[in-house]
Chains A and B, each alone.
Chain A
Amino acid sequence: DIQMTQSPSTLSASVGDRVTITCRASQSISSWLAWYQQKPGKAPKLLIYKASSLESGVPSRFSGSGSGTEFTLTISSLQPDDFATYYCQQYNSYTWTFGQGTKVEIK
């Protein structure tokens, strides 16, 4: 099974900061990686698919990069609405695997 490791687990930042979250796969997943944002009591929301493609309607301050086993999600200028938990997810195989999540908190 493919394992996904996210870092950091928690991130404290201020509005306007540039934020980067890293995700590592236990084996190559090519570019079959997605990023989600989840707020308390809500379903996950797709932000990025295929490692770097921005989902329709998602602000351009979100970007993704990487391939193989190393991936990053970057928020170029953190906004108040961005304080949430972020998950990476691989879909290289028939099954999905999620990272453990990164909670972005207000500093």
Chain B
Amino acid sequence: QVQLVESGGGVVQPGRSLRLSCAASGFTFSSYGMHWVRQAPGKGLEWVAVIWYDGSNKYYADSVKGRFTISRDNSKNTLYLQMNSLRAEDTAVYYCASDQGRWWGQGTLVTVSS
């Protein structure tokens, strides 16, 4: 069955970096665009970034542009989110999701706090 498993979350100080991973299985990962979506505690869903199936195009929310980088390794069926210059307002559960929203991971919590 399809699985998306995020990892890499944790507690990090403001201004530091963190890299999230999303391991995919059960579907042809290299055929799908992939997204990162986040949800701050008690808040709604916020789209973060998307990457084309082949990595050729990437788009970001204004709130993370210039600080976050989405990437993928189709040979490893893995999606990444490199997060730099982290701020308190980046605290959230981060989900990876397939294009069209059919498959989602369970989420990984990122807490930015001193």
Contact = CB atoms under 8 A, between A and B. Distances in A.
Q: Which among A42, A46, A99 has the greatest number of chain B C-beta atoms within 10 A?
A: A46
Interface of A: 1, 34, 36, 38, 42-46, 49, 55, 87, 89, 91, 94-101
Interface string B44-67: 111100100000010101100000
A91 B101 contact: yes
B44 A95 contact: no
Interface residues of B, number: 20
A87 B104 CA distance: 15
B29 to A, nearest CB: 18
Interface of B: 35, 37, 44-47, 50, 57, 59, 61-62, 95, 97, 100-102, 104-107
Contacts of A45: 104
Given A34-B101, A89-B101, A94-B50, A43 B44 contact: no
